Chains A and B, each alone.
Chain A
């Protein structure tokens, strides 16, 4: 028996909106730790890892570890039927082949049940080792989204370079080139407006903008995005989910051959 009651149902709605175009189907895993997902896009270039910790739920019952295969566009469609202020409860029976999403309006005058068929999904769970990154950039998530959107009007790939001068996002395309440099500015009025760059050594990597733009669909989940770069690893673009966990997008770099 699984029963997870999330007071801030909008978080789950936002999570699905941020991943449904990247990943078609995925197993949601539930254990005492929380509600989680790890999935790759169909071309295995990007990976998303989601964790919503059990403590973040108002009620969290998960009698045994369970993995529920879902088609994400279908799940997103159902969650779209929940109001932004609704409480969402996810319910499933052990060994069952359906999951139920229950939506309660804030004043309890409307209660809706949406039952969705589960599917069997063969998916490999990859081990993601703890790693030291050469550079970690924290910046306003809206600023990062803006940069990715702007650059993708010029080119298909972005070179992200971190030096002691700051972080530079560059692209080039048929019509020309673009460079956007963001310098560290830790002394702003609001901490969420700060750009903070932790650099152990300079790093420069090339990524497909199509994926970066897809990741920025998670912008409504967090004011700050953290971009971790290392020349030997996929970049990690992380959005913390208030008090609950995170959504992390991993993207393999493009390598010059």
Chain B
């Protein structure tokens, strides 16, 4: 099963 990751797993708030 392919699980969709979120952008926030890669980039963090400034």
A and B form one complex: yes
- Say whether, besides A45-B4, A208-B4, A252 and B14 are in contact (CB < 8 Å): no
- Chain B interface secondary structure, helix, strand, loop or mixed? mixed
Number of interface residues of A (CB under 8 A): 25
Shortest Cβ distance from residue A190 to the other chain B in the assembled complex, whole angstroms:
35
Q: Which residue of B lies closest to A123 (CB)?
A: B13
Shortest Cβ distance from residue B6 to the other chain A in the assembled complex, whole angstroms:
4
Number of interface residues of B (CB under 8 A): 14
B10 touches which one: A43, A124, A234, A256 (CB < 8 A)? A234
Shortest Cβ distance from residue B10 to the other chain A in the assembled complex, whole angstroms:
5
Chain A 225-257 interface 0/1 with B at a Cβ cutoff of 8 Å (1 = within): 000000011100000000000000010111111
Shortest Cβ distance from residue B7 to the other chain A in the assembled complex, whole angstroms:
5
Are A125 and B5 touching (Cβ within 8 A)?
no
A252 touches which one: B1, B7, B12, B13 (CB < 8 A)? B7
Chain A stretch 121-140: residues in CB contact (< 8 A) with chain B: 124-129
**A-B CB contact pairs (8 Å), 8 listed:** A44-B6, A44-B7, A45-B5, A45-B7, A126-B13, A126-B14, A157-B2, A234-B10
Residues of B within 8 A of A (CB): 1-14
Residues of A within 8 A of B (CB): 40, 43-47, 124-129, 157, 206, 208, 232-234, 250, 252-257
